[in-house]
Every structure is written in structure tokens, then in C-alpha cells.
């Protein structure tokens, strides 16, 4: 499953250039050209990373990210901006960003920064494959599951659920948090569907790895 990126950039030419480059590198990208549109997109979608210009109409990038951090949104964020003062840098990090890249920049550098943050925020692992069992591996770059080096087919929501479990290993994940991850704003969450996804994952990775916590949710452990 492709990592999903929100790009907030009001320079249409630069926005198109970044979108084309990231899509060529197997990312899904949604574009916004002002802060309020970006805020609406964040409300309606689940993103893996934000790329935020600062000086944009209606709501600037600093204000947008601070607002989202105050609302509990923890999605990693990179600012892409021409601002270069130490005060701007301080404001950027105080607003909750994970990285900061100054314009003009080389697209490959942006790609390296995105990949670095996604790996770090996901597992803090250098090896792209995580061993779940002696014959079971998960590739953190492609979000694919392998059994005995053979690809296991998961549907989109099963893959998203497994990714969430791996990100929150040993945590009790509430039904609400799982719903927010698996279903978009326009979809209606289904407990029956969730139980089916859990059942299918247990068949592949082992029943004992996903424990149902009565009235609370689920916990994944290795």
C-alpha cells in the first residue's frame, strides 16, 4: 500500500513538479493550495506525512500544523519554505514539525527526508524488513507481508490494520482509533468487517499475536 502524502503548496508549478516526482516514486499525493483546504483534507483523510509550505493563503503552514497538533494529530510533517531565519526555524519546530527543507531544494533530497521520517516514525529500524516470526516478514517500505519469502495478498484495509498494529505494538488500540485509520470520513465503519479483517490476519500471523481486550479494543504483540 502506497504511503499517502498531503502537499500544501500554493505555487502551482512547484506543486505539480513535486506531485509528479513523488507519484513516480510510488507515493499517493493529495494537493492543497491554501491552509483551510489542507485542514479540511486532514479531517477527511488519513495521511502518512504532511509536506507544508508556510506562506500560503487563508491559514499559514505554521498555524495549520500547530492547530492539528493541538487537536492530537501526530502525523509527521516537513516544512518546505523559503524562510531561512533562525526565528522561522524555531517557530517551525515549536509548531510541531519533524523536519524543515529550504527552497530551492533538490527533489531527491526531499525524497530522502520523506523516506527517513517514514522509517523513523514507523519502526526506528534500518532494515526494511521486520521479522514477525521465523517465516514471516513485513517490508516497511512497500507495506507488504511475506511468508517464506512469498507475498501474501491482503486487501487494503487488512494491510492498513497490520501497519497500525506494527506501529503501535503492545498498545491497546481502541475501536475508535482503528476505525479512524481504516475508514475515511465518507465511509461508515463496520465492526463486522473489522472482525473479519482481524480473523484473516490471525490466520496468517498467528492468533496469539492479536489479543481482543474486552470493551477496549485489540493489542498486538510479537
Strand, coil or helix: what is 140?
coil
- pLDDT for residue 204 is more than 70: yes
Residue 139: the pLDDT is 78
Confidence of residue 101 (pLDDT cuts 50, 70, 90): confident
- The pLDDT tens digits for 49-65 are 999 988 888 888 888 88
- The pLDDT tens digits for 119-153 are 766 654 555 677 877 788 887 666 788 888 888 88
Per cent of the chain over pLDDT 90 is: 17
Report the DSSP beta bridge partners of residue 220: 210
Per cent of the chain over pLDDT 70 is: 86
Q: What is the pTM of this model?
A: 0.60
Could you give phi then psi for residue 200, rounded to 5 degrees? -65, -40
Average pLDDT over residues 61-88: 78
Is residue 73 within a helix (H) or strand (E), and if so which, with residue range? none
Residue 16: the pLDDT is 92
CA–CA separation, 53 and 50 (whole Å): 10
Report CA-CA distances (Å) from 144 to 43, 49, 100, 139.
Answer: 27, 19, 29, 5
Q: Report the mean per-residue pLDDT for the chain.
A: 82
Residue 198: the pLDDT is 92
Confidence of residue 19 (pLDDT cuts 50, 70, 90): very high
Residue 141: the pLDDT is 65
CA–CA separation, 122 and 120 (whole Å): 5
Average pLDDT over residues 86-112: 75
Residue 152: the pLDDT is 84
Average pLDDT over residues 27-41: 91
Amino acid at each position: 500500500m502506497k504511503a499517502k502524502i498531503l502537499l500544501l503548496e500554493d505555487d502551482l508549478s512547484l506543486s505539480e513538479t513535486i506531485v509528479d516526482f513523488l507519484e513516480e516514486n510510488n507515493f499517493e499525493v493529495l494537493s492543497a493550495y491554501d491552509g483551510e483546504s489542507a485542514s479540511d483534507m486532514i479531517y477527511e483523510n488519513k495521511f502518512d506525512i504532511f509536506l507544508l509550505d508556510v506562506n500560503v493563503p487563508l491559514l499559514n503552514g505554521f498555524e495549520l500544523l500547530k492547530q492539528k497538533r493541538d487537536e492530537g494529530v501526530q502525523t509527521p510533517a516537513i516544512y518546505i519554505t523559503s524562510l531561512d531565519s533562525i526565528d522561522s526555524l524555531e517557530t517551525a519546530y515549536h509548531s510541531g514539525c519533524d523536519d524543515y527543507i529550504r527552497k530551492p531544494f533538490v527533489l531527491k533530497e526531499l525524497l530522502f527526508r520523506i523516506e527517513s521520517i517514514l522509517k523513523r516514525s514507523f519502526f526506528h529500524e534500518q532494515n526494511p524488513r521486520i521479522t514477525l516470526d521465523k517465516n514471516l516478514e513485513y517490508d516497511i517500505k512497500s507495506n507488504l507481508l511475506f511468508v517464506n519469502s512469498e507475498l501474501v495478498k491482503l486487501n487494503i484495509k487488512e494491510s492498513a490494520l497490520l501497519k497500525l498494529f506494527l506501529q503501535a505494538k503492545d498498545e491497546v488500540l481502541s475501536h475508535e482509533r482503528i476505525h479512524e485509520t481504516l475508514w475515511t470520513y465518507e465511509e461508515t465503519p463496520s465492526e463486522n468487517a473489522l472482525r473479519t479483517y482481524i480473523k484473516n490476519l490471525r490466520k496468517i500471523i498467528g492468533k496469539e499475536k492479536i489479543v481482543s481486550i474486552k470493551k477496549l479494543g485489540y493489542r498486538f504483540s510479537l
